[in-house]
Amino acid sequence: MDSKTYVLGVDLGGTNTKIGLVNSEGEVLTQKKLKTSAYPNIDRFVDALASACDVLLSFLPKGAVAMGIGIGAPNASALTGNIEFAPNLPWKGVVPLAAMLSDCIQLPVYIINDAKAAALGESRFGVARDLTDFIMITLGTGIGSGLFVRGNLVSGTKGFAGELGHMTVIPDGRLCGCGRRGCLETYASATGLVRTAIERLQQGNTVSRLSEINPEQMTSYEVFKAAEAGDAVAGEVFERTGEILGKALSNMVLATDPQAIVMFGGLLKSGKWLLDPVRKHFEANLMHVYQNRIPILTSSLDDANAAILGAAALVWENQGRPPIWEKK
């Protein structure tokens, strides 16, 4: 019998759902992919997910048993086992995903918000391996976050700690999907960056290769490509985005005085265009007791596997305890 332990990690996203068989050293041994958006019916999705899990479990080394399934999903609560009102998933309202998958497969099913899964993954396998106190920020379509305090992920009373993407950064600013105004997410996510670019172009008097792109087709990658090609407007858009994010991060440290900030997500592919202004404005806006000691780190995990590893880490985090949602 192998001394390693194994789990399944599920990265449930709006476009794709990736499932990986992971060992305790953080290696993804094999994986499968489902097209999330192809399953408007949640029952069909759960059937397909259970089948994929069964296939992966057949790859377990002889005699080995998987410890459980960990799912990282937007708007998921570890306490209820539900995905609740996720704007980017095909299923509306409250989906009791953990319970539904549990009915199909003989393994404990753990579930957590995707940004918290990312924090767990960095803590167990990544750049936060040696940290007890850090703030994880994920920059994608939206902004997620997870806080580690004294070596533990902060869940909060109802499992909704770490929603720092919804900090108000501009009073009465842009309308957010959450119904409030001026949230960080509306400025410093990939979609926020695009909104800034479009607003900037609409001011007119602007020479930019971004003007040639239909605003509906604009992506953060287009803005990045323009910046790389020397487009000044694209550079300004990154500078402004980095300023807002850097200042917001300098406010976040006021709550928990962390050792570091860890960033992850698609927008980081912009590299220095984003990170240089973030770091500059973060450091310049820190209160003096925090200055020159809180690095902004980026994920050290392989992009393709990071979210699977985060979800997998959730199973080890629970050390064989039954999922919290089962007690409800």
Q: Does 147 bind a copy of itself (CB under 8 A)?
A: yes
| Helical axes 232-256 vs 272-285, angle rounded to 10° | 40
Q: Which is nearer to a copy of itself, 232 or 287 (CB)?
A: 287
Interacting stretch for a copy of itself, rule CB under 8 A, among 14-22, 159-167, 195-203, 225-233? Answer: 159-167
CA separation, residue 233 to residues 7, 186, 239, 245 (Å): 46, 19, 10, 18
Q: Does 116 bind a copy of itself (CB under 8 A)?
A: no
Compute CA 213 distance to the chain's CA centroid, rounded to the nearest angstrom: 28
Element (H or E) spanning 222, and its range?
helix 220-228
**Strands, DSSP E only, in the chain?**
6-12, 16-23, 28-35, 66-73, 83-84, 94-95, 109-113, 134-139, 143-149, 152-153, 260-264, 296-298
Q: What's the maximum distance between 2 C-alpha atoms anywhere in the chain?
A: 70
> Number of residues in contact with a copy of itself, rule: CB under 8 A?
42
Pick from 259, 270, 299, 305: which binds a copy of itself (CB under 8 A)? 259
Interacting stretch for a copy of itself, rule CB under 8 A, among 38-46, 61-69, 136-144, 252-260? Answer: 252-260
Pick from 169, 263, 296, 315: which binds a copy of itself (CB under 8 A)? 169
Q: Does 211 bind a copy of itself (CB under 8 A)?
A: no
Q: Does 175 bind a copy of itself (CB under 8 A)?
A: no
Q: Does 160 bind a copy of itself (CB under 8 A)?
A: yes
Using CB under 8 A, list all residues that contact a copy of itself.
Answer: 84-85, 133, 147, 149-150, 152, 154-164, 166-171, 178-180, 247, 251-252, 254-259, 285, 287-290, 293
